[in-house]
């Protein structure tokens, strides 16, 4: 009888310990990490409510240690509009026309292939007051690059090509391809004088042969807009080209203004 009761107690205690362990694991993952390890990490967001900035899987204060950003101030009803582009498929001229009509300045994060093939469009971006940021030369998974020399080369080689085209130094804004990064990447970018720019609002717009509808785009980009939003759109998206005029009009109607990355980092 004593042995039987001892086994019963052991089973009960084991179950309690197991439940506590499961609860603690759930809390850790449910609350999202606010720091970054040296391991590979994909930039991610967790939206809690409409009109409120999401939580990033790296906290705002942690990122700021390395001059990295994903959102602006919560009491500043402004938008930082950015575009990523690995190639040109004919949408950018109309996007630039729309930005000019709305007097909105954006940032374009470009790769080496884009600068090689589209120097005149790059010049137009700069001449019309937009920022051209560093999206690396070859668009690799930067979180897999462990040595400083290789990391630096991906950024500095693009800087050199930009200076050949524009005749000026490239602005020190860097966006990790696919949002893949680790803490060491943030340190190395910071040491090169770069501000690393993530985002607080984006949607799946990059599949050339599977573009979202106008309704799908607005369902993501209107309810989730929030003060200080750093928005990532792809200029390769046909949908983005088609909706941009209406999208900017809707955001303005909601009371938002537009600022630049210089305003953000200042």
Residue 6: pLDDT band (50, 70, 90) is low
Residue pLDDT, tens place only, 55-76: 999 999 999 999 999 999 999 9
Residue pLDDT, tens place only, 190-205: 999 999 999 999 999 9
DSSP string, 82-140: EEEESS--S-HHHHHHHHHHHT---EEEE-HHHHHH-HHHHHHHHHTT-EEEE--SS--
Quick one: tokens of 204? 């799946």
Residue pLDDT, tens place only, 36-46: 445 668 999 99
Q: Is the pLDDT of residue 20 over 80?
A: no
Residue 12: pLDDT band (50, 70, 90) is low
DSSP string, 133-201: EE--SS---GGG--SHHHHHHHHHHHHHHHHHHHSSPPPSEE--GGGEE-HHHHHHHHHTTPEEE--SB
Residue 200 · residue 233 · CB < 8 Å: no
Per DSSP bridges, beta strands 78-85 and 229-234 are parallel
Sequence-distant (6+) residues with CB within 8 A of 150 are: none
Fold (topology level) of 54-265:
TIM Barrel (3.20.20)
Number of C-alpha atoms within 13 angstroms, CB side, residue 68? 32
Q: Which of 4, 234, 238, 245 is catalytic?
A: 234
Q: Is the pLDDT of residue 47 over 50?
A: yes
Sequence-distant (6+) residues with CB within 8 A of 46 are: 32, 54, 55, 57
Compute the average pLDDT of residues 146-170. 97
Q: How many residues does this entry show for the chain?
A: 266
- What whole-number distance in Å separates Cα of residue 154 and Cα of residue 138? 7
Residue 201 · residue 230 · CB < 8 Å: yes
Q: Where are the domains of the chain?
A: 1-31, 54-265
Q: Can 147 be counted among the known catalytic residues?
A: no
Residue 92 · residue 85 · CB < 8 Å: yes
DSSP 65: T
Q: Can 234 be counted among the known catalytic residues?
A: yes
- Average pLDDT across the chain, whole number: 90
Q: Which of 84, 130, 139, 226 is catalytic?
A: 84
DSSP 201: B
The pLDDT value recorded for residue 40 is 62
């Amino acid at each position: 009888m004593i042995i039987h009761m001892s086994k019963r107690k052991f089973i009960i205690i084991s179950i309690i310990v197991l439940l506590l362990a499961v609860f603690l694991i759930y809390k850790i993952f449910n609350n999202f990490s606010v720091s970054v390890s040296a391991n590979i990490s994909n930039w991610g967001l967790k939206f809690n409510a409409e009109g409120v900035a999401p939580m990033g899987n790296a906290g705002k204060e942690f990122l700021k240690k390395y001059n990295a950003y994903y959102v602006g101030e919560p009491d500043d009803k402004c938008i930082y509009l950015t575009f990523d582009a690995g190639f040109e498929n004919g949408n950018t001229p109309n996007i630039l026309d729309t930005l000019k009509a709305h007097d909105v300045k954006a940032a374009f994060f470009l790769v080496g292939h884009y600068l090689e093939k589209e120097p005149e469009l790059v010049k137009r971006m700069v001449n019309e007051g937009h920022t051209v940021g560093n999206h690396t030369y070859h668009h690799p998974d930067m979180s897999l690059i462990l040595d400083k020399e290789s990391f630096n080369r991906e950024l500095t080689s693009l800087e050199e090509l930009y200076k050949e085209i524009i005749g000026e130094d490239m602005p020190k804004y860097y966006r990790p391809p696919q949002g893949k990064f680790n803490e060491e990447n943030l340190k190395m970018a910071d040491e090169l004088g770069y501000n690393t720019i993530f985002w607080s609002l984006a949607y799946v717009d990059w599949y050339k042969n599977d573009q979202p509808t106008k309704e799908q785009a607005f369902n993501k980009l209107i309810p989730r807009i929030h003060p200080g939003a750093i928005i990532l759109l792809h200029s390769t998206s046909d949908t983005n080209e088609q909706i941009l005029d209406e999208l900017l009009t809707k955001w303005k109607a909601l009371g938002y203004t537009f600022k630049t990355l210089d305003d953000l980092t200042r």
